[in-house]
Amino acid sequence: MVKPAGVWVVAACFNEQAVITHFIERVLAVPGVERLVLIDDGSRDGTVDQIRAFQKHQQQLGEPVPVTLLELTRNFGKEAAMLAGLDHARGNCAAAVLIDSDLQHPPELIEAMIDQWKAGAEVVTAVRDDRDQESRLKVASASWFYRVFNKLVDSIQLQEGAGDYRLLDAPVLEALTRLRESSRFSKGLLPWTGFRSVELPYQRVSRSGGASSWSPLKLWSYALDGIFSFSVLPLKVWSVIGVLVSLLSLIYALVIVLDTVFTGVDAPGFATLIVAILFLGGIQLIGIGVLGEYIGRIYVEAKARPHYFIRAIDRTD
């Protein structure tokens, strides 16, 4: 059986009408790219129409159109869309490149990735350099997340500045698609597989069109997915906090007993009592919230629903 030898590029799309045609042209211009797989994640604009118009135009010119469109039935999220693309690429290519379709990841870097892969790299990871054109707040919050994650998680360490822009060798692609957990965090799943990675620096530029679908709330939720998917330390931390609060309560009770014995009965103030009740109640609610995050993920995993459904696959050769 002849093994596939080409490199495929996989990109999720969500409301990228303003840039998708330019993105396709830049990717297909990269030497070594055999096919581009675009996954429409329930776009509400003309993204799908733009992709199909490009395919039709190239066909009319009599030129090959190595573009495949996977149209999902609704918006399942970026992680599910990337998984759909990797599932489609698995077994059909020798390596796959994950890239964002908003042109913040420069497609021209793919050629250098392919060179590193041909030199023996199993994973080639694009890492943002210090010239990142994102806002200072976004860069600072991302840096904070990487530091917190690496402090909480012992099994893996995330490279600061490394995102989803990566080249995956065929065995890595096979391993990654075998991980079917519902709360996916690809930035952690890839290093967890243990394959060797080579880093390439790049400059992440501002969006040339459209708007980001990642609101602060979604970024916060994604960060929690990453932490809770790879660490049980938050549960252990709240166990320690519970022990410390109990010890403080015992010490305070002893102080009250001694004060009563030596100075007489002391009626505690109402404010002190309310503060103590609110403090302990807050501690309990936070602990229950952390526990609920884990239970909620267990609930989602137990249902074992498919990650995505595909409405149509448009492939032109």
- Whether residues 286 and 188 share a domain: the answer is no
Please provide the average confidence, as pLDDT, over all residues in the chain: 85
Helix, strand, or coil here: 16? coil
Residue 130 has pLDDT above 70, yes or no: no
Residue 146 has pLDDT above 80, yes or no: yes
Q: Is residue 73 part of a domain?
A: yes
- Whether residues 252 and 311 share a domain: the answer is no
Ordered strands of the 123-128 beta sheet: 197-202, 123-128, 162-169, 95-98, 7-13, 33-40, 67-72, 310-316
Q: Which residues pair with 197 in a beta bridge?
A: 123
Give CA–CA dist 17/209, Å, rounded: 9
The pLDDT confidence band at residue 271, using thresholds 50, 70 and 90, is: low
- Whether residues 194 and 84 share a domain: the answer is yes
Give CA–CA dist 315/302, Å, rounded: 35
Note the pLDDT of residue 159: 84
Q: Is residue 226 part of a domain?
A: no
- Whether residues 202 and 72 share a domain: the answer is yes
Residue 133 has pLDDT above 70, yes or no: no
- Whether residues 180 and 274 share a domain: the answer is no
Give CA–CA dist 95/304, Å, rounded: 28
Note the pLDDT of residue 214: 66
Q: Is residue 15 part of a domain?
A: yes
Q: What are phi and psi of 212, to 5 degrees?
A: -70, 140
- Whether residues 155 and 240 share a domain: the answer is no
Average pLDDT over residues 55-61: 88
Q: Is residue 223 part of a domain?
A: no
Q: What is the CATH number of the domain that holds 45?
A: 3.90.550.10
- Whether residues 159 and 257 share a domain: the answer is no
The pLDDT confidence band at residue 1, using thresholds 50, 70 and 90, is: very low
Q: What is the pTM of this model?
A: 0.82
Q: Is residue 53 part of a domain?
A: yes
- Record the tokens describing residue 144, joined without a space: 């904070």
**35-47 pLDDT per residue, tens:** 999 999 999 999 9
Q: What percent of the chain has pLDDT over 90?
A: 44
Closest C-alpha to 104, from 209, 244, 245: 209
Note the pLDDT of residue 143: 80
- Whether residues 127 and 105 share a domain: the answer is yes
What's CA 177's distance to the chain center, in Å? 15
Note the pLDDT of residue 274: 67
- Whether residues 284 and 312 share a domain: the answer is no
- Whether residues 132 and 86 share a domain: the answer is yes
Residue 276 has pLDDT above 80, yes or no: no
What single DSSP character describes residue 196? -
The one-letter amino acid code at 5 reads A
Give CA–CA dist 271/112, Å, rounded: 66
| Number of compact structural domains in the chain | 2
- Whether residues 99 and 116 share a domain: the answer is yes
Conformation bin of residue 214: beta by default, left when phi > 0, alpha when psi is -120 to 50: beta
Average pLDDT over residues 130-151: 75
- Whether residues 192 and 247 share a domain: the answer is no
Higher pLDDT, 112 or 314: 112
Which residues are CB-contacts of 257 (< 8 A; sequence separation ≥ 6)? none
Higher pLDDT, 155 or 106: 106
Average pLDDT over residues 231-250: 78
Among 9-23, 151-165, 227-241, 263-277, the range of highest mean pLDDT: 9-23
Residue 216 has pLDDT above 70, yes or no: yes
Average pLDDT over residues 245-255: 75
Domain of residue 111 covers 7-211+306-316
